[in-house]
Structure 1
């Protein structure tokens, strides 16, 4: 199979519309339709059902998509490996990280990395679907919460980080050395919505400890949560190191939570079958060193 035709197939698979897919590829719609028909003839099975103006993926199409992702990534890996071998050029590394870590913890590392390796490009995306982005070959490397073992991935544990209670600096709690999980029932909290990784992790610990939290406001942004705490709207429960960078921006005090405290465990992941060039290896080593020394422990 020609990888060009596979690329055409992927465009139709993603758009479910031949005209839109053709526009995205920069070719005419009749040309695209012809190439898809040739691919279907080669495989001996229809890849799409065309019902009027609607396009639906067949079972054969879904099966081809599973392998097509790997085929196209293998071609990119081969090109990258040979280009690096022949020219010694360093390319661009793509990285997926959790939103709060990107906004509050990892930027200093990126500055250091760019100063040390100015020829390496770095593309960072913010997402809570870190493992999914890596598995879909949308990024080279990911940093997220530790997941179950997956043979498709290389998973490098980075350590753990406890959650603390963040309160306004003028709060009567600000002078406390620690606070129990049970005492959090009495606090008005601003939190991530249910379904967000950090919130689900905290809720699981509270359910096991038979503690019921009271939330007065929910938002999906860590920055918004910190602003709400700084404004005195409520307290929040966040990873210990969230305000390590620029703590002067907020009038907030951190209070350790006694056992059983919520703890997040981070890991660095990349696809086991993917070519890892010198740029990716260099960034991977830096990330592991930086995170273990500065964020988790």
Structure 2
């Protein structure tokens, strides 16, 4: 008897159930009926010879076999997508989509001029830039093609290109008593009003971590979730903020804000460009990667 082979359609059905752990919701998103989806999952389970999900009442839980299929199913779907993209590029090297994951608030704003330049060169290529604190996870899950995030441990599944380091500095209004300081310590900032990102944002957590190592904690008078809002608050005299040094360089319109270096030990973020090692890289993605590397190199000169 001829052995039946898995096809990517059934894998797609399985992945939808795995992601949502809910057959009805997955069926709605797939545009098929719930009984049809359940039947396809049963056929897939018959193929692998093991249950892929445990159904406990209304709760759906992936089995160990299900988790393994998810791991390799992602590779199957990505391989199919890579093949299609490679063939499409033979028809036109300037079509397709490039998905970029980038740390939120300050970096995504700084990169807008580069995005404009990219769109000029590749007018038919759709560029999607996503703000996320889970850059590496998004790359590994094939949700984005390229990622710019904090440096992490070496991972053989990824290409990891260092983009340099960037120290944090104190931004204050030019009329502040601190504006003429050439340097300041983190601990001194406990005596001044601060506006910061909320706890849980990478930048805030990085600053808080350095403070904890020195045995103190910063307090804030206001917390907002965007870099532009923080700069507006500083310009209004509400308080000072601790942000990556180059953020202010990208906003020359804030001429009434000055930046003061923080003495050691100071918060520093180390950035890297990441993408999946074993996947198709289009010419547009390659061009964007090169531009991103050049952009960050220029900031360290």
TM-score (ref. length: structure 1)? 0.92
Structure 2 equivalent of residue 129 of structure 1: 134
Q: Partners in 2 of 1:282 and 1:219 — Cα distance?
A: 34
Shift of 1:43: 0.6
Indicate conservation of the 8 Å contact 1:131/1:144, yes or no. yes
Partner SS, residue 106 of structure 2: helix
Out of 270-279 and 247-256, give the one that drifted further: 247-256
Structure 1 equivalent of residue 165 of structure 2: 160
Instruction: Report whether the alignment pairs 1:266 with 2:271.
Output: yes
Instruction: Report whether the alignment pairs 1:37 with 2:42.
Output: yes
Q: Structure 1 stretches of 5 or more lacking a match?
A: none
CA change 1:104–1:26 in 2 (3 A) is: closer
Instruction: Report whether the alignment pairs 1:75 with 2:75.
Output: no
Indicate conservation of the 8 Å contact 2:170/2:240, yes or no. yes
Shift of 1:128: 1.0
Shift of 1:239: 0.4
CA change 1:238–1:35 in 2 (3 A) is: same
Deviation string 1:18-55 (CA, Å, 9 cap, x unpaired) is 22212211122222111111100001111122334332
Structure 2 equivalent of residue 179 of structure 1: 184
Superposition RMSD in Å: 2.0
Out of 96-105 and 73-82, give the one that drifted further: 96-105
Alignment of 1:234-273 (within 5 A): 234-249=239-254, 251-273=256-278
Out of 99-108 and 121-130, give the one that drifted further: 99-108
Instruction: Report whether the alignment pairs 1:116 with 2:121.
Output: yes
Shift of 1:66: 1.5
Indicate conservation of the 8 Å contact 2:94/2:122, yes or no. no
Instruction: Report whether the alignment pairs 1:7 with 2:12.
Output: yes
Shift of 1:102: 4.2
Alignment of 1:213-252 (within 5 A): 213-249=218-254, 251-252=256-257
Q: Post-superposition, which runs of at least 4 consecutive aligned residues in structure 1 deviate over 4 A? A: none
TM-score (ref. length: structure 2)? 0.91
Shift of 1:288: 0.4
Deviation string 1:98-137 (CA, Å, 9 cap, x unpaired) is 1123453111111122223323321101111111111110
Indicate conservation of the 8 Å contact 1:165/1:235, yes or no. yes
Shift of 1:160: 1.1
Structure 1 equivalent of residue 23 of structure 2: 18
Number of matched pairs: 296
Q: Partners in 1 of 2:141 and 2:255 — Cα distance?
A: 38
Shift of 1:154: 0.7
Q: Structure 2 stretches of 5 or more lacking a match?
A: 1-5
Structure 2 equivalent of residue 276 of structure 1: 281
CA change 1:87–1:113 in 2 (3 A) is: closer
Q: Partners in 1 of 2:268 and 2:230 — Cα distance?
A: 19
Structure 1 equivalent of residue 212 of structure 2: 207
Out of 83-92 and 16-25, give the one that drifted further: 83-92
Indicate conservation of the 8 Å contact 1:177/1:256, yes or no. yes
Structure 2 equivalent of residue 145 of structure 1: 150
